[in-house]
Amino acid sequence: MFVITKIPLFLYLLIVYNLIAFGGDTNLLDETFISWQMMSGANLTLSNSHFLLVLGVFALYFEIFKSTRSTISSMIEQSVSMILFIVFLAEFLLVKQAGTATFLLLTLMQLMDVMSGVMVSVSSARRDMTIGE
């Protein structure tokens, strides 16, 4: 259980995206995930790709929250997040199935996770540092 909480949440999103994108059916990302009638009369429809983006927003929130800790395991997790961003970027640039707006937005969310983790670490390290007497 301890190891599962240390794995960046975007890794799970990357795995789910790849399972959907390479699942054989090319239109699986565009299929309707859920649809419901709003009180205003509008019909709200979320596709599988929209649902992945919603999960990405929540994952970004929890990753930023996790980056506020200043422990050794948190620093290791930030390093893994940087490697994961490189994987996202490489897959976006090199793999045809990942060349979608959904994957671009997930990649940008991962970039924001890395950048916010670094900024939180720098600001907390600056606060923890004492100079002089």
The reported pLDDT for the residue numbered 130 is 57
Mean pLDDT calculated for residue range 44-70: 91
The reported pLDDT for the residue numbered 14 is 95
Q: Read off the tokens for 48.
A: 């599988």
Q: Return the closest-CA partner of residue 114 out of 54, 63, 45.
A: 63
What percent of the chain stands above pLDDT 90?
Answer: 56
Q: pLDDT tens digits for 81-95?
A: 999 999 999 999 999
The DSSP result for 72-84, as a single string, is HHHHHHHHHHHHH
The reported pLDDT for the residue numbered 113 is 94
Does 21 have pLDDT greater than 90?
no
Rounded Cα gap, residues 34 and 109, in angstroms: 23
Highest mean pLDDT among 3-7, 45-49, 119-123, 129-133: 45-49
